[in-house]
């Protein structure tokens, strides 16, 4: 009787464990998107507005921009390396209005979470390790902003998962997908170049393994000699050619080189500074990176690809906070690969059925949670008389001031603050902004000149953009606004708790 009772209880315990695992995975994949649903940080992001404005222009004109649209620097050439992301942003906006912007970020967050979870699970089949890595990696990336780099996180995770699969099976056929990945990636973010660098590192590691097999010995003590170097080299070449499938062709490489070598304006942009360790995320990032080094050292690994990948990604990410996502994704891949293990199953008979049902339940649950969050955004807005999302925007951007400028037909050109430039391209499309977040357009010289002016390092009239401005919109509490308030050449015509507007006197 006891034996039969235990036998009857085994399936129920197995289903209970499967349910717990499914709930844990669902939480790891959706919790950060749920946080965005409550916080709505997407509509308070400075750069999302010029991305949106550009995306709407692309949809309306069926072309990509070639010069500085919406700016007083319209004569400058502009290579819009993020045009695919901008079209996606405009699509979500047309679909859901303002609610579409946080909706886009939630979809991207879940996509990133799925990619990181799959990457952590691809090499080693330890579910709880994958859940923990997925949560830790997402925490390191907080606050995740709606920008093209979010797409690169997913693309790099896919690339590393394909490489991990090829290495574990000693077969290069999994890498045949990479040219397609790069053909899409190149149209979403300029940082596709790191994906190519990863592929070159993999190819270089294979070459060194051929020359010195003992250098590439991994956990099993043998190098990955079964992967055909000629196939990997051909795939690398095809991937490079695939990056030319873009409206801008090889010009994207020129842009990548300019971004890698620029330095004059770096001190004015916080996200280009190295890690300051002021936030909990910075310490978790350091711990995640140290764990990746530890597991390689603990296994006495001589895996050249993983070692070189970790060193290069660490050097890039710790140099600039903007690129910290690179070492996060690489660390997840390395930890998941280094701690490879077989699944712990309830029984050999129940495992396939339980795994299939668990995956199905998780996928359906994640989809339902995402749909519920997307549906709740417009409902939440309607519950507040349709003004909730606009009020959220007005907390961060000068919505009332732009209404005043438009309604009173204040003279052009305008001079604006850097943080509001992207919003003004959307809220005041008839006015060309003096500056916004498109550093690729303005370059180091214009960016540095603006920040030196705002920090009173140079006289006001030394900046040509300010010298010819007829309407000036600034933060109400900014030092330059207080200085202009004392000058007879400028007349204050509007002020609220957030913004102040001046008109130059005749």
| Residue extents of the structural domains in the chain | 110-343, 397-504
Residue 142: band (very low, low, confident or very high) from pLDDT cuts 50, 70, 90? confident
User: For residue 174, what are the CA distances in angstroms to 34, 127, 178, 319, 414?
Assistant: 34, 23, 8, 32, 53
Beta sheet of 490-495, edge-to-edge order: 414-416, 471-475, 499-504, 490-495
Q: How far apart are CA 444 and CA 376, in angstroms?
A: 42
For 82-112, the pLDDT digits (tens) are 999 999 999 999 998 898 999 999 999 999 9
What tokens were used for 452? 């030196």
The percent of residues above 90 in pLDDT, for the chain, comes to: 43
User: For residue 153, what are the CA distances in angstroms to 29, 122, 125, 192, 494?
Assistant: 15, 16, 22, 10, 43
For 177-234, the pLDDT digits (tens) are 999 999 999 999 999 999 999 999 999 988 887 776 665 554 444 445 567 788 888 9
104-108, 316-320, 473-477, 495-499: least confidently modelled range: 316-320
Highest mean pLDDT among 14-28, 373-387, 421-435: 421-435
**Nearest 10 degrees: CA dihedral of 197, 202, 206, 209?**
100
120-129, 130-139, 352-361, 449-458: least confidently modelled range: 352-361
More confident residue, 304 or 415: 415
Q: How far apart are CA 96 and CA 102, in angstroms?
A: 10
Q: Using the predicted structure, report yes or no on whether residue 481 has a pLDDT greater than 50.
A: yes
At 426 the pLDDT is 95
119-128, 408-417, 483-492: least confidently modelled range: 119-128
Q: How far apart are CA 62 and CA 247, in angstroms?
A: 12
> What sign has the CA pseudo-torsion 388, 391, 393, 395?
negative
Q: What's 37-81 look like in SS3?
A: HHHCHHHHCCCHHHHHHHHHHHHHHCCCCCECCCECCCCCECCCC
Q: How far apart are CA 231 and CA 293, in angstroms?
A: 30
At 235 the pLDDT is 92
What tokens were used for 188? 């979403």
Is 229 buried (19+), middle (13-18) or exposed (0-12) by CB count in 10 A? middle
At 486 the pLDDT is 83
At 39 the pLDDT is 85
Grouping H, G, I as helix, E, B as strand and the rest as coil, residue 499 is strand
Residue 237: band (very low, low, confident or very high) from pLDDT cuts 50, 70, 90? very high
Q: How far apart are CA 27 and CA 16, in angstroms?
A: 17
Q: How far apart are CA 389 and CA 398, in angstroms?
A: 14
Mean pLDDT of 449-471: 85
Q: Using the predicted structure, report yes or no on whether residue 353 has a pLDDT greater than 50.
A: no
At 14 the pLDDT is 64
Q: Using the predicted structure, report yes or no on whether residue 301 has a pLDDT greater than 80.
A: no
Q: How far apart are CA 229 and CA 320, in angstroms?
A: 33
Q: How far apart are CA 111 and CA 82, in angstroms?
A: 18
* Ramachandran sector of residue 473 (left: φ over 0; alpha: ψ -120 to 50; beta: rest): beta
More confident residue, 437 or 381: 437
At 474 the pLDDT is 94
Residue 384: band (very low, low, confident or very high) from pLDDT cuts 50, 70, 90? low
Grouping H, G, I as helix, E, B as strand and the rest as coil, residue 471 is strand
């Amino acid at each position: 009787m006891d034996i039969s009772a235990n036998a009857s209880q085994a399936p129920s315990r197995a289903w209970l464990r499967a349910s717990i695992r499914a709930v844990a995975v669902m939480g790891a994949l959706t919790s950060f998107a749920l946080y965005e649903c409550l916080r709505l940080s997407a509509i308070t992001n400075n750069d999302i507005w010029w991305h949106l404005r550009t995306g709407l222009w692309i949809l309306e004109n069926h072309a990509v921009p070639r010069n500085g649209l919406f700016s007083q620097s319209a004569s400058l050439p502009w290579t819009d390396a993020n045009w695919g992301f901008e079209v996606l942003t405009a699509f979500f906006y047309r679909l859901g209005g303002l609610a579409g912007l946080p909706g886009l970020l939630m979809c991207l967050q879940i996509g990133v979470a799925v990619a990181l979870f799959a990457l952590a699970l691809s090499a080693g089949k330890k579910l709880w390790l994958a859940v923990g890595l997925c949560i830790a990696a997402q925490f390191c990336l907080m606050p995740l902003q709606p920008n093209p780099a979010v797409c690169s996180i997913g693309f790099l995770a896919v690339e590393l998962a394909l490489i991990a699969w090829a290495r574990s099976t000693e077969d290069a056929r999994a890498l045949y997908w990479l040219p397609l990945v790069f053909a899409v990636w190149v149209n979403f973010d300029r940082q596709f170049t790191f994906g190519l660098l990863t592929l070159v590192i993999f190819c270089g590691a294979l070459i060194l393994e051929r020359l010195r097999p003992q250098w590439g010995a991994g956990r099993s003590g043998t190098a990955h000699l079964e992967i055909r170097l000629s196939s990997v080299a051909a795939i690398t070449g095809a991937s490079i050619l695939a990056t030319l499938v873009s409206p801008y062709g090889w010009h994207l490489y020129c842009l990548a080189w300019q971004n890698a070598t620029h330095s004059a304006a770096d001190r004015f942009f916080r996200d280009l500074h190295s890690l300051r360790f002021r936030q909990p995320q910075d310490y978790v990032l350091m711990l995640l990176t140290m764990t990746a080094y530890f597991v390689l050292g603990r296994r006495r690994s001589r895996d050249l690809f993983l070692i070189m990948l970790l060193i290069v990604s660490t050097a890039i990410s710790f140099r600039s906070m903007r690129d910290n996502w690179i070492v996060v994704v690489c660390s997840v891949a390395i930890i998941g690969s280094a701690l490879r293990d077989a699944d712990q199953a309830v029984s050999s008979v129940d495992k396939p059925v339980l795994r299939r049902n668990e995956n199905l339940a998780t996928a359906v649950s994640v989809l339902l949670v995402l749909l519920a969050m997307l549906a709740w955004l417009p409902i939440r807005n309607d519950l507040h008389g349709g003004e909730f999302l606009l009020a959220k925007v007005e907390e961060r951007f000068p919505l009332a001031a732009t209404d005043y400028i438009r309604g009173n037909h204040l003279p052009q050109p305008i001079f604006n603050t850097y943080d509001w430039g992207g919003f003004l391209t959307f809220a005041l499309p008839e006015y060309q902004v003096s500056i916004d977040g498109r550093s690729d357009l303005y370059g180091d010289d214009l960016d540095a000149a603006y920040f030196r002016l705002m920090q009173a390092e140079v006289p006001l009239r030394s900046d040509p953009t300010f010298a010819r401005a007829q309407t000036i919109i600034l933060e109400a509490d900014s030092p330059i606004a207080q200085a202009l308030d004392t000058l007879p050449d400028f007349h204050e015509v509007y002020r609220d708790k957030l913004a102040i507007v001046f008109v130059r006197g005749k």
